[in-house]
């Protein structure tokens, strides 16, 4: 078996190993080469991919189910096909006959690798699934919902007044509630007479009116008194989908939940998914279907948790980045993959939920916040609505760190925005031992400046690794890899302790001080965990983090230059990942500019909070529509000095920028060049980037 990703190891591989099939597991992103005939379950275990199996590979428990994805995955240079996996053998056929397998599923203990594969581990088979860290807000939102329930008692038919039942309903709704010029959802018209008679002429109508200038709609009708109406606020992220179920009558958040975005099987980052659409004729339809099914599944989950009938959901608000926005609506995102990054539509949108295959009340409405620009989407608009830089005098920096970072900078005078292609490194996808935030993932790291020994915390375990009881507590979840927050911390700690230079080169001379510095050909790695699996931080890992953080910082600096400021007053980290970043380490790494650390705060899923605000108060919809209209979008690719800003930002924390606020709480190392033993590959890469 050969694990992909470390270029310094590849030169040592035999020619035979180079021809072994390449297997990529989703959603973890881990991959490796394995000989033909290797069971998929064995490959998963060797890569540290969690696939549950209780029966010891006897094909009786059925918990090791996987799905093979078909198509060309350009980013990974893989063409995956069902012909690249063995046909079902006797044991698998017996299991399928007795207990059944969902369409497209295979048992990984019996399925053998015959060629290159992209393998999806379905999340419904995983007990220790990813921890989706997008929680509800505790903010109080003034209610002015687009949906109102109105109980009325309608006059019975009269032969002397030949007015239809629906028309008499409209008359009483105007008389009792003031609703004029009412329209009605077409599917309700055949049901009106039956509902009126079932309710003995007393009925409850759900009226939807978003804009004051628009005509109101009857979207629901029930016999008798109905006092339940719910809404959904949903943030469709490229990695996770987060959802709140809310009472439209009280504003109470009834339930919140999240799930992995199943589109990740088609590509870890946004451009990979656009590439998949371009290279596979049915790619757009497959991704649209996948995300809609995930949204429907999540609606079912929050409704079950809240004890709510999903058909009582009458209004929905969605936010998403532009590519997720387009794919959710069934729009081809190809134009967003190339200059000038044209959106099919940028303004706010309204749909009937049934038009986009969302299974709630048939009359339910869907509202999507406007997109700011080609790569700054409705999620950034939602976060902007939530945090409101345009409502204050301070210069606020709002950063949503994901596979594509979205940056908003401004105050009440002026707001500018940009996107920066950070890639999936912060979420573990391009890190040798990286993984998503799940039980067993290292989430915090500290390195002793004297002994250079590490200690860490693992998701699902309360103790640090050097505390009593850690080994026993960790036995149930293991120590399986490094998630995003720990990736930032370990690189920053390595810099603070002198293990790497400001240019990010692992100092080979430090091997004289600690056995944790390990040679890998021409470069060096730091051994974080000596166990199974063995977890190291390689030179390639550090480069991946440098590239990601430099892209973000350069985008921020560009916006600061546009605003004519040399510092920011306050910083807000948005998004699930941002909630778990330690601001001090983010600043040490050079992910964000210098700022008073007391003014750097995580604000959770601000995009989801913005969706919640728009759901509960239609006035917020008008507010963000107006604000988006005056936000200035900066396209980093067109800015002549972006490359120099990027090069300067490769250093830690930065090659040219001072960090006076940070220096009051952290002793930054003196700048030192890498030693002769520090990895020639790193030095050569750095020089090339400056040419």
Nearest Cα residue to 322 out of 307, 332, 311: 332
Mean pLDDT by 10 residues, the chain (691 residues): 49 56 86 92 84 68 86 86 93 86 90 94 58 53 90 89 92 92 96 96 94 91 91 92 92 91 81 88 92 96 96 97 94 87 92 96 97 91 96 95 86 94 70 83 95 95 93 90 90 96 94 94 93 90 93 95 96 80 92 94 90 96 96 87 93 94 91 49 36 31
Residue in this structure with the two tokens 């910082």, named with its chain if needed: 553
Assign domain 147-223 one CATH number from 3.10.20.880, 3.30.43.10, 3.40.50.1580, 3.40.50.300: 3.10.20.880
Q: Please give the order of strands across the beta sheet that includes 230-236.
A: 253-260, 240-247, 230-236, 313-320, 365-368, 349-352
User: Residue 677: exposed, middle, or buried by beta-carbon count in 10 A (0-12, 13-18, 19+)?
Assistant: middle
CATH 3.40.640.10 matches 233-238+248-368: no
Asked if the domains at 147-223 and 233-238+248-368 fall in one CATH topology, the answer is no
Work out the number of other CB atoms within 10 angstroms of the CB of residue 523: 23
Query: What pLDDT is recorded for position 431?
Result: 84
Query: What pLDDT is recorded for position 168?
Result: 95
Work out the number of other CB atoms within 10 angstroms of the CB of residue 605: 33
Backbone phi, then psi, for 260, in 5-degree steps? -70, 145
Query: What pLDDT is recorded for position 12?
Result: 43
Question: DSSP labels for 597-609?
Answer: GGGEEE-SSHHHH
3 state DSSP class of 288: helix
Query: What pLDDT is recorded for position 308?
Result: 96
Assign domain 382-424+545-664 one CATH number from 3.30.110, 3.40.1760, 2.60.40, 3.30.420: 3.30.420
Distances (CA, A) of 198 to 195, 201, 203, 467: 5, 7, 9, 67
Assign domain 22-125 one CATH number from 3.30.160.20, 3.40.250.10, 3.10.20.30, 3.30.420.40: 3.10.20.30
Return all residues near 173 (Cβ < 8 A) that are at least 6 apart: 150, 152, 179, 182, 205, 207, 218
The ranges assigned to domains in the chain are: 22-125, 147-223, 233-238+248-368, 382-424+545-664, 432-540
Query: What pLDDT is recorded for position 542?
Result: 95
Kindly state the tokens that stand for 223.
């016999």
In whole angstroms, what is the distance from residue 197 CA to residue 192 CA?
9
Backbone phi, then psi, for 336, in 5-degree steps? -80, -5
Query: What pLDDT is recorded for position 16?
Result: 46
Which residues make beta-bridge pairs with 204? Answer: 151, 222
Q: What is the pTM of this model?
A: 0.80
């Amino acid at each position: 078996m050969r694990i992909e990703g470390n270029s310094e190891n590849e030169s040592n591989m035999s020619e035979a190993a180079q021809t072994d099939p390449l297997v990529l597991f989703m959603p973890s992103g881990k991959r490796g080469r394995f000989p033909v005939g290797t069971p998929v379950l064995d490959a998963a275990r060797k890569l540290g991919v969690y696939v549950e199996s209780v029966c010891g590979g006897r094909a009786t428990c059925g918990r090791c189910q996987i799905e093979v994805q078909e198509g060309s995955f350009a980013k990974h240079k893989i063409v995956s096909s069902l012909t690249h996996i063995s046909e079902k053998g006797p044991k698998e056929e017996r299991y399928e006959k007795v207990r059944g397998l969902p369409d497209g599923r295979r048992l990984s203990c019996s399925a053998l690798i015959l060629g290159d594969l992209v393998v999806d581990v379905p999340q419904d088979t995983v007990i220790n699934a990813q921890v989706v860290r997008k929680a509800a807000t505790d903010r109080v939102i003034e209610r002015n919902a687009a949906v109102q329930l109105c109980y009325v008692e309608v006059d019975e038919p009269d032969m002397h007044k030949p007015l239809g039942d629906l028309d008499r309903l409209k008359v009483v709704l105007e008389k009792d509630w003031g609703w004029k010029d009412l329209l009605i959802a077409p599917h309700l018209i055949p049901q009106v007479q039956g509902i009126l008679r079932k309710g003995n002429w007393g009925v409850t109508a759900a009226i939807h009116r978003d804009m004051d200038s628009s005509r109101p709609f009857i979207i629901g009708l029930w016999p008798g008194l109905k006092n339940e109406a719910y809404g959904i606020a949903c943030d469709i992220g490229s990695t996770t989908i987060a959802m709140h179920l809310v009472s439209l009558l009280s504003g109470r958040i009834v339930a919140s939940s999240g799930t992995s975005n199943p589109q990740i099987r088609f590509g870890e980052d946004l451009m990979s998914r656009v590439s998949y659409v371009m290279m596979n004729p049915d790619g757009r339809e497959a991704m649209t279907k996948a995300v809609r099914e995930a949204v429907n599944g999540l609606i079912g989950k929050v409704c079950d948790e809240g004890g709510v009938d999903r058909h009582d959901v009458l209004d929905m608000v969605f936010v998403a980045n532009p590519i997720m926005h387009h794919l959710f609506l069934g729009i081809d995102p190809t134009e967003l993959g190339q200059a000038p990054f044209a959106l099919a539509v940028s303004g706010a949108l309204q749909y009937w939920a049934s038009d986009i295959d969302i299974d709630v009340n048939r009359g339910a409405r869907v509202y999507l916040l406007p997109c700011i620009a080609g790569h700054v989407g409705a999620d950034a608009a939602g976060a902007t609505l939530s945090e409101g830089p345009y409502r204050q005098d301070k210069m606020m920096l709002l950063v949503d760190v994901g596979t594509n970072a979205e940056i908003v900078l401004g105050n009440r005078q002026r707001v500018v925005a940009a996107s920066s292609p950070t890639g999936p490194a912060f979420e573990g996808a391009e890190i040798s031992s990286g993984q998503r935030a799940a039980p067993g993932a290292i989430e915090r790291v500290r390195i002793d400046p004297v002994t250079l020994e590490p200690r860490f915390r693992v998701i699902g375990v309360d103790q640090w690794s050097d505390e009593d009881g850690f080994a026993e507590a960790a036995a149930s979840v293991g120590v399986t890899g490094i998630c995003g927050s720990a990736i930032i911390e370990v690189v920053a700690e390595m810099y603070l302790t002198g293990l790497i230079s400001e240019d990010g080169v692992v100092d080979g001379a430090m091997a004289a001080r600690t056995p944790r510095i390990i040679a890998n050909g021409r470069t060096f790695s730091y051994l974080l965990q000596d166990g199974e699996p063995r977890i190291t931080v390689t030179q390639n890992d550090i480069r991946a983090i440098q590239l990601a953080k430099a892209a973000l910082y350069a985008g921020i600096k560009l916006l600061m230059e546009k605003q004519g400021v040399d510092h920011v007053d306050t910083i807000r980290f948005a998004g699930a990942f941002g909630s778990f970043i330690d601001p001090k380490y983010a600043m040490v790494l050079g992910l964000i500019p210098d700022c008073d650390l007391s003014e750097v705060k995580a604000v959770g899923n601000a995009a989801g909070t913005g969706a919640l605000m728009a759901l509960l108060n239609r006035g917020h919809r008008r507010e963000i529509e107006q604000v988006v209209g005056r936000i200035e979008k900066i396209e980093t690719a067109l800015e002549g000095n972006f490359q120099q800003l990027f090069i300067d930002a490769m250093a830690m924390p930065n090659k040219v920028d001072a960090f006076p606020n940070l220096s009051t709480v952290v002793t930054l190392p003196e700048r030192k060049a890498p030693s002769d033993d520090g990895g020639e590959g790193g030095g050569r890469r750095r020089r090339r980037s400056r040419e």
